[in-house]
Each structure stands twice: as C-alpha cells, then as structure tokens.
Structure 1
Amino acid sequence: MEYKSNNNIVYSCKYHVVWCPKYRRRVLVDGVDERFKQIAQEVAQELHFEIIEMEIMPDHVHMLLEVDPQFGIHKAVKRLKGRSSHDLRKEFPWLNKRLPTLWTNSYFVSTVGGAPLSIMKQYIENQKNV
C-alpha cells in the first residue's frame, strides 16, 4: 500500500464519490464531459488531491479520489462541483436554459479502505458498459 504525507500526518484516504446533475438530466454530453474532466484535474492540482479514476456518464459522475484528511472530502467535492458548475455554465450557455443549477446539492461518498483499489478502479472504468 502506498501512503502520502503532509507536515503532520501520513495517510491513505481513498473515496468513491458519485453525484448527478440537477433532475438527473443527461447533460454531460457533447464536449461537456471532456471539459469537466479538464476542470476536475485543474481543481485537483490546485488543492493537492489526486483523481485516481474518473468516469463521466450523461447523467452522473463517478470519481475515485485520494484526499488529505485534514483538507476533507467534503471540501474537495464542494470545490469540484462549484468550479465545474461555474465554468461549464459559462462555456456552454445551453446548460443555463436546461437547468437552474448544474448539480444537485447531494452526493454519495464511500471510503474504499475495505475493497482492493484495483477492483474499485475497474468498477469505475466499467461504468460505461453497464
């Protein structure tokens, strides 16, 4: 198992996170999905967390993240959703017409400590085939 560290702690905190557009609309298509991936990578780099795996479906997002526990998974998800909503709605004006806000307020998060990481990565990669 590989560990990360900051000034205070050594950690291995991996999370499976899923969230949806408002009303579960199928709007993550036609370039929105690819741009979302770019924005997510930018946010991860700025905030120093890792996106291990990511799959964008037309009506939801699956991510496998490794986040510093002192920063918190909730802050990572909040920044991902906030920045992507702002940027995507600015770059794709048709999203403003379809939705009052891009994302729902809720999301699913589960720690991945019990499952082998390779199994979680395979699960997320295979979401397109489901």
Structure 2
Amino acid sequence: MEYQRDEHRVHLILYHLVWTPKRRKAVLKDAIAVDCRQLIEQKCAEQGWEIVELAIQPDHIHLFVRVWPSVSAADVVKAVKGLTSHELRERYAVLRKLPSLWTRS
C-alpha cells in the first residue's frame, strides 16, 4: 500500500469499520447483501474513498477503507450507514420491521 502525497503532507489513512444490524439479526443475505455491497461501493466511489476490503456477513459488515486525512471514521460510518439504511429499508419490507437497520455504535 502506497502513501498518498499532496502539496504539504504524506499520509496513509485506513479505517477498519465493523457494524451490525439492530439486535444482530442475520438479515444481510442473498439480494439484500448484494444490494448492500453495491450501495457501499457506490458511496465510497462518490466520496473518493478506496475500498481495500469489504466483507458482508449475515449479521455484520467489515469495511476496510482508505480515505483522505480530512475524513474521520465517523464521517465514513455516517455516510455509508445512512445511505444503506435508507435504500435497503425502502426496497425490502423485511427490514422495515426492525426499529432501525443498524445499531447505534
């Protein structure tokens, strides 16, 4: 993995983020997992973040992502969880039964 360079700094910012559906329900399967992956890839591409690794298990997600120094881990989580929650709950009725898609952590 190469360091990134700009006018005044050299950096390598990597975050390993893990989050789970509410009540750790195993809902990230089949078409939901495929759509979730596409949404995460789409959001990261829009923001200019490089996905190093993305693993979606039925009851949790691992995202290893490379970002710029101005981007906090909270920014990444907010953007990705917000988009995926909104879009997936709109598409799949089974997810609307949960009080929210993701845990607060």
- TM-score, normalised by the number of residues in structure 2: 0.92
User: Corresponding residue for 1:117?
Assistant: none
Between 3-12 and 62-71, the greater mean CA deviation after superposition: 3-12
Instruction: Give the percent of matched residue pairs that are identical in Structure 1 and Structure 2.
Output: 40
User: Corresponding residue for 2:31?
Assistant: 31
Structure 1 unaligned residues grouped into runs of 5+: 107-130
Calculate the aligned-residue CA RMSD, in Å.
1.4
Aligned amino acid, residue 2 of structure 2? E
User: Corresponding residue for 1:56?
Assistant: 56
Give the paired residue count: 105
Structure 2 unaligned residues grouped into runs of 5+: none
Mapped pair 1:75 → 2:50: no
DSSP 3-state at the match of 1:103: coil
Mapped pair 1:13 → 2:2: no
* 1:38-96 deviation digits (Å, cap 9, x = unpaired): 00011001111111111100000011111112121210111000000000001112210
- TM-score, normalised by the number of residues in structure 1: 0.75
Distance in 2 between the 1:14 and 1:5 partners? 15
Q: After TM superposition, what 4+ stretches of structure 1 lie above 6 angstroms from structure 2?
A: none
Retained in 2: the 8 A contact 1:67–1:73?
A: no
